[in-house]
């Protein structure tokens, strides 16, 4: 590793470094979201609301469950790599890199096989309407056939971001998004493949992104070199990855499971509601894209400064990041509430679907600011290695309560009562996260004062 190169994440102006790291992540996440969003736009406008529901309904929830779980696990690799990088531990960095890649390859193959085999049973459990079953099953199976590419790309990009390189993952996603859009139009409009066309387009473009990020780690990343022959599990580093990443992965999967249960309830309202929920998910993802980018930025920032022992920067960085994320959350709420109808018309011209979607927007969008505290504070705690309590808090405060809400509290509720489970659970978990973060930081800083006392 180059000793003379300044690491600005642990040296530079805090707000500037957060923004310099945040914007490439945000734009990159935007292009990653563009994969499925363009799929939804193309099938919604040219193949009908049934195809739109097949791409964005129950099938999307199943995909989010598996991909979200692995992304959470990859956070463990991101944290220890950022700490090794901040501490300039070359041997630890090398072992962590190759363990992470072994995990993404094995995980991608195994989860891909399971997804193909169990696609139809899962869709059946979720009350997917019979008229959507064939297309939804096809979409899920094609998507899972290329899951190894998605896992490899997500792991590779997480590794690059962990060492402060958020630009190259952005460039790769921009290229692959263009490929995806071109293939969507070609396969849906040119060859009339419908749902199968958008699934194949996504698979091919994800494969390209996986190849590019792997090549970058093999040949063009100073301080890191991926050597295919050395890809294997190193017990200590892999155990640490799992210790940090597994709670996050479980947390992410529980989010998805609770969302799947909400989706199952909403499926009973019919195809129009399913289509509206699918479109709302794409619009809603714009906020999660930005909020998630702030979460990744603060995790990397705290991880590297923690590794370097710069605790004052950790504290200031979290406060600055919270402020920026809150401002953007309030801005998204205002835009969605005022321009919701226009946003829905990008995906569908069906007036019934649009009216149902606007009812969802009115309940959920005003409360985005609540989740900012959950995202930023849990990201900072994760980077410090404290994940167990935040995971339990999230599982009980959001996931379990959300399930209880739709199954016991409002089992036969209206649309508004069902989707109200989101703001209610965010509020409860945000309060718990604020209290726990404050307690944990006071404890950490007290320990640091004892260490530095004369």
pLDDT tens-place string over residues 327-356: 999 999 999 999 999 999 988 888 999 999
Q: What is residue 1's predicted lDDT score, i.e. its pLDDT? A: 42
Cβ proximity of 441 and 376 under 8 Å? no
What's the chain's length in residues? 454
| Cα–Cα distance measured from residue 328 to residue 372, given in angstroms and rounded to the nearest whole number | 10
| Cα–Cα distance measured from residue 14 to residue 21, given in angstroms and rounded to the nearest whole number | 11
Sorted by sequence, the CB contacts under 8 Å of residue 429 that are 6+ apart come out as: 374, 393, 394, 397, 398
CA torsion through residues 304, 449, 245, 253, sign: negative
How many Å from the N-terminal Cα to the C-terminal Cα in the chain? 34
| Cα–Cα distance measured from residue 332 to residue 324, given in angstroms and rounded to the nearest whole number | 13
Q: What is residue 348's predicted lDDT score, i.e. its pLDDT? A: 82
| Cα–Cα distance measured from residue 92 to residue 112, given in angstroms and rounded to the nearest whole number | 30
Q: What is the mean pLDDT of residues 359-382?
A: 93
Q: Which band of pLDDT confidence, cut at 50, 70 and 90, is reported for residue 452?
A: low
| Cα–Cα distance measured from residue 452 to residue 445, given in angstroms and rounded to the nearest whole number | 11
| Cα–Cα distance measured from residue 443 to residue 263, given in angstroms and rounded to the nearest whole number | 41
> How many separate helices (H) and strands (E) can be counted in the chain?
17, 0
Q: Which band of pLDDT confidence, cut at 50, 70 and 90, is reported for residue 29?
A: low
Task: Between 244 and 417, name the one with better pLDDT.
Answer: 417
Looking up tokens 């726990």, which residue turns up? Answer: 436
Cβ proximity of 69 and 253 under 8 Å? yes
Joined together, the tokens standing for residue 56 give: 């964005």
Judge whether residue 233 has pLDDT over 70: yes
114-127: per-residue pLDDT in tens?
989 988 888 888 77
Joined together, the tokens standing for residue 427 give: 């509020």
Q: What is residue 305's predicted lDDT score, i.e. its pLDDT? A: 82
* Residue 107: HSE in the Cβ half-sphere, 13 Å Cα cutoff: 26
| Cα–Cα distance measured from residue 378 to residue 395, given in angstroms and rounded to the nearest whole number | 13
How far, CA to CA in Å, does 189 sit from each of 175, 243, 318?
A: 21, 47, 47
| Cα–Cα distance measured from residue 45 to residue 357, given in angstroms and rounded to the nearest whole number | 16
Task: Between 338 and 32, name the one with better pLDDT.
Answer: 338
Judge whether residue 367 has pLDDT over 90: yes
Q: What is the mean pLDDT of residues 152-159?
A: 89
Judge whether residue 30 has pLDDT over 90: no
User: What pTM, to 2 d.p., does this model score?
Assistant: 0.68
**Closest Cα to residue 296, out of 13, 116, 77?**
77
Task: Between 129 and 427, name the one with better pLDDT.
Answer: 427
Cβ proximity of 266 and 277 under 8 Å? yes
Q: What is residue 3's predicted lDDT score, i.e. its pLDDT? A: 42
Q: What is the mean pLDDT of residues 178-202?
A: 83
Judge whether residue 360 has pLDDT over 70: yes
| Cα–Cα distance measured from residue 231 to residue 228, given in angstroms and rounded to the nearest whole number | 5
At 164, give phi and psi (nearest 5°). 95, 5
| Cα–Cα distance measured from residue 167 to residue 176, given in angstroms and rounded to the nearest whole number | 15
Q: Which band of pLDDT confidence, cut at 50, 70 and 90, is reported for residue 2?
A: very low
Q: What percent of the chain has pLDDT over 70?
A: 89
Q: What is residue 341's predicted lDDT score, i.e. its pLDDT? A: 92
Which residue ranges make up each domain of the chain? 14-445
| Cα–Cα distance measured from residue 273 to residue 57, given in angstroms and rounded to the nearest whole number | 10
Q: Which band of pLDDT confidence, cut at 50, 70 and 90, is reported for residue 453?
A: low
Task: Between 254 and 275, name the one with better pLDDT.
Answer: 275
Q: What is residue 312's predicted lDDT score, i.e. its pLDDT? A: 81
| Cα–Cα distance measured from residue 141 to residue 147, given in angstroms and rounded to the nearest whole number | 10
| Cα–Cα distance measured from residue 258 to residue 400, given in angstroms and rounded to the nearest whole number | 8
Joined together, the tokens standing for residue 419 give: 């989707």
């Amino acid at each position: 590793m180059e000793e003379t190169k300044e690491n600005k994440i642990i040296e530079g102006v805090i707000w500037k470094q957060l923004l310099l790291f945040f914007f490439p992540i945000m734009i990159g996440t935007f292009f990653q979201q563009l994969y499925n969003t363009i799929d939804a736009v193309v099938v919604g406008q040219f193949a009908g609301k049934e195809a739109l529901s097949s791409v964005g309904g129950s099938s999307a929830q199943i995909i989010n469950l598996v991909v979200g779980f692995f992304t959470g696990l990859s956070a463990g690799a991101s944290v220890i790599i950022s700490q090794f990088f901040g501490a300039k531990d070359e041997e630890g960095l090398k072992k962590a890199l190759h363990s992470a890649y072994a995990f993404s390859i094995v995980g991608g193959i195994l989860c891909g096989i399971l997804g193909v085999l169990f696609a139809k049973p899962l869709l059946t459990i979720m009350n997917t309407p019979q008229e959507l079953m064939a297309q939804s099953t096809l979409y899920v199976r094609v998507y899972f056939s290329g899951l190894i590419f998605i896992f490899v790309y997500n792991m590779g990009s997480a590794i690059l971001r962990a060492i402060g390189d958020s630009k190259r993952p952005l460039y790769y996603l921009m290229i692959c998004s263009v490929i995806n859009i071109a293939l969507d139009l070609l396969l849906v409009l040119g060859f009339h493949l419908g749902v199968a066309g958008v699934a194949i387009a996504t698979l091919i473009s994800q494969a390209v992104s996986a190849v590019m990020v792997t090549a970058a780690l093999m040949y063009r990343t100073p301080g890191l070199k991926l050597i295919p022959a050395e890809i294997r599990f190193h017990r200590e580093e892999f155990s640490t990855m799992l210790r940090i990443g597994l709670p996050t992965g479980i947390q992410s999967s529980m989010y998805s499971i609770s969302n799947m249960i909400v989706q199952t309830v909403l499926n009973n309202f019919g195809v129009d509601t399913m289509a509206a929920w699918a479109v709302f998910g794409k619009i809603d993802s714009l906020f999660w894209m930005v909020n998630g980018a702030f979460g990744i930025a603060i995790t990397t920032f705290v991880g590297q400064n923690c590794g370097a022992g710069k605790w004052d920067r950790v504290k200031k960085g979290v406060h600055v990041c919270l402020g920026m994320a809150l401002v953007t959350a309030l801005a998204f709420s205002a835009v969605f509430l005022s321009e919701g109808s226009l946003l829905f018309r990008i995906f569908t011209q069906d007036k019934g679907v649009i009216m149902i979607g606007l009812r969802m927007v009115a309940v959920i969008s005003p409360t985005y600011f609540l989740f900012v505290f959950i995202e930023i504070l849990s990201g900072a705690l994760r980077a410090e290695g404290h994940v167990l309590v935040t995971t339990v808090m999230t599982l009980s405060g959001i996931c379990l309560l959300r399930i209880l809400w739709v199954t016991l509290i409002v089992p036969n509720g209206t649309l508004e009562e069902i989707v109200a489970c989101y703001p209610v659970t965010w509020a409860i978990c945000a309060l718990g996260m604020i209290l726990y973060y404050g307690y944990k930081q006071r404890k950490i800083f007290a320990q640091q004062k004892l260490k530095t006392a004369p």
